[in-house]
Amino acid sequence: MSAEAVDILIAGGGPVGAALALALEGGGHSVVLAEARNADSNGPQSTTPGDARAIALSYSSRLILERLHAWSKLPVTPIKTIHISQQGGFGRTVIRAGDCDLPALGYVVNYTDLQHSLLAAPCTAERLFGARLTGFDGGEAVVQTAEGERVFAPRLTVFADGARVADGGKAPGFTKDYRQTALVAWVKAEQEHNSRAWERFTPEGPLALLPHATGYALVWTSSPERSAQLAALDTPAFLARLRNAFGGRAGEFTDAGERSAFPLMLRYRREEALPRSVSVGNAAQSLHPVAGQGFNLGLRDAWELARLVRDTREPGSASFIDSYRRARALDRRAGIGFTDSLVGLFSNSNALLGLGRGAGLLALDLAPFARRFVARRMIYGARGLP
C-alpha cells in the first residue's frame, strides 16, 4: 500500500488536537486529524454521555478560542471571584477579576461541550473519527479506521493523544504519581454561586467548587482509597461529607450528580523519541488539576505550534522541531513547576507548613500587587498575552 502524502497528521482530537486543527486553518498546509473515538461520542449531535470533568478556561484561552471561532456558542459560566482558604488553619485570600482589570478571571465549561464546540467549528482539515494511530516510525504513520488501515507519510506528526501510548512510551520523560485521585461531580448548593469559585486546601488534597450553570463543578482531591469510599456513598451521605470538608460558606449542599474519578500524576516529555514529530497538550505534559492549568497550557502549545508552522517550509525538520521546543520551554516549565509546588505545599498536614501557608495567604490578601501577579500568571502563563 503506498502511503498518502500529507503535511500534518494530528493524532488525537481531544480539545487540544481539535484546537490545533483550527489554528492551522488558512496556513496552506494539508491536515489530517485522526481521533480514536467514534463520531457519535464526539460530534455536536452526540447522544452518548460525555466526560464529566469541568475545565476552568483562563481569560487568555478565551482570546485564543475567539480567534478559532469556537467561543461564541460555548456554554460557559464566568468566574469573577476566587476564594482561597485552608481547612483547619488561618489565612485566606480573595482574588477578583477587578484585580486584573478583566471582566472575568476565567470561565467554566464542560469538557465534552468544549470538545464539541472545537469539532463543530468550520475547518478544512480531513477529520477522521474512530481512527486510531497504531504505528509511527518517524516516517510513515498507520491509522486504523472502521474501513481498514490507512497509511500516511506526514511531513510532521503531532501527538495530541493525551498520553504517551502512540509512540509506545519511548520518549524520555518524567513521571510522578501523586497517589491522589480527583473525584468530580456536579453539585447544587442552597445559595446562588454569583460567579464565585472556591478553592479549599485540605491535608488530603485541594477541594475546588467552580461555578457551573446553576450549581458547582466539584473537584475533590484525596487519596485513592478515600476517593473510592466517597464515590460509593449515597447522595445524602456524600453531601454530608462534602459539608464537613468544605464548611457552610456556600450554604447547604442539596444535590449531587454522578461521580467520576481521575487518578492524578505529573508526566511530561523531555524530548521526542522519533523524528518528524512533536507533542501538544497532555501528550506533552499532564498536570495535577489544582491550578487549572492543563488545558490552558495545552491550548498555548497548539497556538504556538500553528504560528511556527505558518512560517516554515519544512515543518518536520530537526531545526523546526527544536524551535518549537525552545518556544514552549519557559511556559511549560513555569506551568509544571507552579502546579507541582502547589500540590506539595498544600497537600500536607505538617504544622509548620500550615503556618507558612496561612501567612502566605494572608500576605497575598494584603498585597494587591502580589495577587495581581499570581492571577496574571494563571491567566496568561509565563509568556504573557497570546
Ligand X SMILES: Cc1cc2nc3c(=O)[nH]c(=O)nc-3n(C[C@H](O)[C@H](O)[C@H](O)COP(=O)(O)OP(=O)(O)OC[C@H]3O[C@@H](n4cnc5c(N)ncnc54)[C@H](O)[C@@H]3O)c2cc1C
Contact 92, 43 (CB under 8 A): no
Which region among 250-258, 282-290, 352-360, 373-381 touches ligand X (by CB under 6 A)? 282-290
Which region among 13-21, 196-204, 247-255, 356-364 touches ligand X (by CB under 6 A)? 13-21
Which region among 118-126, 285-293, 337-345, 372-380 touches ligand X (by CB under 6 A)? 285-293
Number of amino acids touching ligand X (CB under 6 A): 35
Q: Going by C-beta distance under 8 Å and a sequence separation of 6 or more, which residues neighbour residue 148?
A: none
Q: Choose which of 184, 189, 207, 374 interacts with ligand X (CB under 6 A).
A: 184
Q: Which residue is nearest to ligand X (CB)?
A: 14
Check binding of 12 to ligand X (CB under 6 A). Answer: yes
Check binding of 381 to ligand X (CB under 6 A). Answer: no
Q: Choose which of 100, 182, 187, 256 interacts with ligand X (CB under 6 A).
A: 182
Contact 268, 332 (CB under 8 A): yes
H-only helix segments in the chain: 15-23, 39-42, 59-67, 111-120, 224-232, 235-246, 294-310, 318-346, 351-366, 368-380
Angstrom distances, CA of residue 143 to CA of 131, 166, 282, 329: 6, 11, 20, 30
Q: Which is nearer to ligand X, 160 or 209 (CB)?
A: 160
Contact 283, 12 (CB under 8 A): yes
Count CA within 13 A, CB hemisphere, residue 202: 17
Q: For the chain, count helices (H), then strands (E).
A: 10, 19
Contact 52, 184 (CB under 8 A): yes
Site residues for ligand X, window 17-36 (CB under 6 A)?
17, 34-36
Which region among 226-234, 286-294, 337-345, 352-360 touches ligand X (by CB under 6 A)? 286-294
Which region among 23-31, 158-166, 198-206, 368-376 touches ligand X (by CB under 6 A)? 158-166
CB of 288 to ligand X, least distance (A): 8
Site residues for ligand X, window 310-369 (CB under 6 A)?
none
Grid coordinates representing 166 are 502512540
Q: Which of 110, 147, 111, 138 shows the shortest CA–CA distance to 34?
A: 147
Q: Choose which of 295, 303, 320, 380 interacts with ligand X (CB under 6 A).
A: 295
Q: Which is nearer to ligand X, 160 or 375 (CB)?
A: 160
Q: Which is nearer to ligand X, 12 or 154 (CB)?
A: 12
Q: Which is nearer to ligand X, 142 or 362 (CB)?
A: 142
Q: Which is nearer to ligand X, 132 or 259 (CB)?
A: 132
Check binding of 128 to ligand X (CB under 6 A). Answer: no
Angstrom distances, CA of residue 157 to CA of 5, 125, 194, 268, 322: 12, 14, 44, 18, 14
H-only helix segments in 311-367: 318-346, 351-366
Q: Is 70 helix (H, G, I), strand (E, B) or coil?
A: coil
Interior angle at CA 86, CA 84 and CA 91, nearest 5: 75
Q: Choose which of 8, 9, 14, 321 interacts with ligand X (CB under 6 A).
A: 14
CB of 197 to ligand X, least distance (A): 10
CB of 307 to ligand X, least distance (A): 18
CB of 353 to ligand X, least distance (A): 24
Site residues for ligand X, window 55-114 (CB under 6 A)?
55-56
Q: Which is nearer to ligand X, 136 or 320 (CB)?
A: 136
CB of 165 to ligand X, least distance (A): 6
Q: Phi, psi (5° rounding) for residue 301?
A: -55, -50
Angstrom distances, CA of residue 190 to CA of 46, 59, 220, 247, 314: 32, 28, 19, 13, 57
Residues that bind ligand X (CB under 6 A): 11-17, 34-37, 53, 55-56, 132-133, 160-162, 165-166, 182, 184, 219, 262, 281-283, 289, 292-296, 298
